[in-house]
Copies of this chain bind each other. A is one copy, B any other.
Amino acid sequence: MHLGVCYYPEHWPETQWADDARRMRAIGLTRVRIGEFAWSRIEPEPGRLDWAWLDRAIATLHAAGLGIILCTPTATPPKWLVDAMPDMIAIDREGRPRRFGSRRHYCFSHAGYRREAARITRAMAERYGHHPAVVAWQTDNEYGCHDTVQSFSAAAATAFRVWLAERYGSIAALNQAWGTIFWSQTYRSFDAIDLPNLTVTEANPAHWLAFRRFASDEVVRFNQIQVDIIRALSPGRDITHNFMGFFTEFDHHAVAQSLDAVGWDSYPLGFLDSFRFSEADKLRYARQGHPDIAAFHHDLYRGCARGGRWWVLEQQPGPVNWAGHNPAPLDGMVRLWTLEALAHGAELVSYFRWRQAPFGQEQLHAGLLRPDDVPAPAYAEAARTAREIEALGPMPAAEKCVALVFAYEADWMTTIQPQGAGLSALWAAFAAYSALRQMGLNIDIVPPDAALDGYALCILPCLPVVPNQLLQQLADFDGPIVIGPRSGSRTADFAIQDGLPPGPIFPAKVTRVESLRPGLEHVGEGWCVRHWVEHLETEATAELVADDGTVACWRSGNRRYLAAWPEPELLAVVLDKAAREAGLERLDLPDGLRVRRTGSLIFAFNHANRMLVLPEEVGGRVVLGQRELAPAEVTVLAL
């Protein structure tokens, strides 16, 4: 695995570059990622391209022996471009323009901006496509960050109508598919269809779903333009993009189709503070991040990558600036996160950023170096980790174990129609992932069209639309299958499945769905039904029955159907049964300990605040660390 760093030569005096490059290499970094937001420096005036500085920066980094990941600068078009094409900016859901002054101030559907983005991409690829230092390209930066996938601009409306016409062929077909007869929404032509924002009350869920698909496709299209240019002009280089955490606005599987390696930006502490973890977890893991945050995304994005190749393009190196509260990681966490990525199969971990910038929006975002050029704590951790990775040698591949099926549109559908406030497919997936990982199991998060052979256990935490291909895969699957609520409940156009949910995936009819406010519970033995209950008409066996008769889990053959929201305790009980049947060895891990087996190596990570001891079942020879792990410590065993 390579270690790298994100670097902005344009932020620093040129005199500093060579020493920066030297020190990068000195601590074992071999990759450097540059260019991300440099458009206004590359093209300070319309049409005048200033390559000189970038030529020298690349030469300097090259001379030090670093491989360069070159980014297209399209996430930050210069002010002169916005002034020339004011309608290139996106419009938010409330109808307000999203103006220049930060980043991502463009609408994916704006043809003029797509042309400009292609132009600057081509110019960069022409100049550096064959440069020996350039080993990879990153397109744009964090598509969708700051809620920028959905734009409610005139350009988006026009493009949406074209997209609808292509998808549905005739307006009659759309009316039928969406059920527009409801509330007199019938359209007479595609031209009559508006974007679904600012309606008096909620728009048709089919309308929203189509818009979400369209908006996702616009990201795919935008990215494809850059990929095509770079492929043509820079042969042999990997193309990547940096995805984000807990972010589902576009279909990452679709964007990843054209990438060589999938990248993502890992900020466990910022994510813990910003997302829906319990207050207790936010306190307990304040300096580590919830133990499953990074691993969940590693396994998710590995599953997005065509060839399984994935990178951490930005790794949190200390406190960040953008969460509500920004504590420092425990000493050792940067190393832990790096080794955890290694254990999950990353090819690269790139720290963000080399040196903390004293100006601009991220001036309180830590780097490997402090603003005064002195090493920050992560500097030494990175250096140490580089040596350890070297010592561990090439990573063996992990064997297939559990397949967790996740679809981006499942999250769109549950968000469009939560029915119970706050319930969504993404968090169902995370809960299932976390429950499995607490048993010490390896998980692959796979799309609905993935092959399932070779897995011992399969779980679909929440999949409203079950494609036929997946039905076939499941039919051929011998191991235990766990199906979560809402699965199979909807047609591709957001109507209730004919003959009632869950359709062919489980022999039952969901006759009634209830969502429950917090505090309403159906209590079982060691588990509880909360938030969501489905009533089934079925010949299947009631496997878990609450005191009041509510059935939480049904069983038929090798399949289980959860008629309740996947909550930690319930998942623990159900997945424990399924894992045993699958012949999987379930570990009894102490709170905060996580393991990952890859080939003959077992990695163990202590995310807790206290000393933990590896359970005896975890065998093997210690090749790194000890069986007693201090907080933030890592142990590697070889079988």
Contacts and interface: CB of A to CB of B under 8 A. Distances in A.
B286 A520 contact: yes
Contacts of A77: 184
A58 to B, nearest CB: 18
Contact of A512 (B146, B182, B184, B366): B366
Contacts of A496: 356, 358-359, 363, 371
A417 B362 CA distance: 10
Nearest to A193: B79
Interface string A1-24: 000000000110000000000000
A504 interface: no
A594 interface: no
A421 interface: yes
- Chain B CB within 10 A, most for which of A41, A321, A511: A511
B183 A102 contact: yes
In the A-B complex, the 3 residue pairs with the smallest Cβ-Cβ separation, listed nearest first, are A179-B359, A182-B360, A76-B184
A198 B97 contact: yes
Interface string A113-134: 0000000000000000000000
Interface in A485-501: 494-500
Interface of A: 10-11, 37-41, 44-45, 73, 76-80, 83, 90, 94-105, 145-146, 148, 178-188, 192, 194, 196-207, 273, 279, 282-283, 286, 318-319, 321, 324-328, 356-364, 366, 370-372, 374, 376-377, 417, 419-421, 494-500, 509, 511-517, 519-520, 535
Contacts of A194: 99-101
A370 B499 CA distance: 10
Contacts of A273: 517
Given A328-B535, A363-B494, 17 more contacts: A39-B184, A40-B184, A83-B192, A98-B200, A102-B183, A102-B203, A182-B360, A206-B360, A273-B517, A283-B517, A319-B514, A325-B515, A325-B520, A327-B517, A328-B514, A358-B495, A363-B496
17 contacts: A37-B182, A40-B185, A41-B184, A76-B183, A79-B187, A101-B207, A102-B199, A102-B200, A102-B202, A104-B200, A182-B359, A182-B362, A286-B516, A327-B515, A328-B512, A372-B500, A376-B512
Nearest to A420: B325
A47 to B, nearest CB: 13
Given A79-B185, A188-B80, A496-B358, A95 B96 contact: yes
Nearest to A205: B361
Contacts of A44: 186, 188
B101 A203 contact: yes
A509 B375 CA distance: 13
A37 B181 CA distance: 9
B517 A325 contact: yes
A496 to B, nearest CB: 4
Contacts of A146: 200-201
A358 B205 CA distance: 12
A145 to B, nearest CB: 8
A417 B364 contact: yes
Given A40-B184, A192-B83, A516-B327, A204 B101 contact: yes
Contacts of A192: 79-80, 83
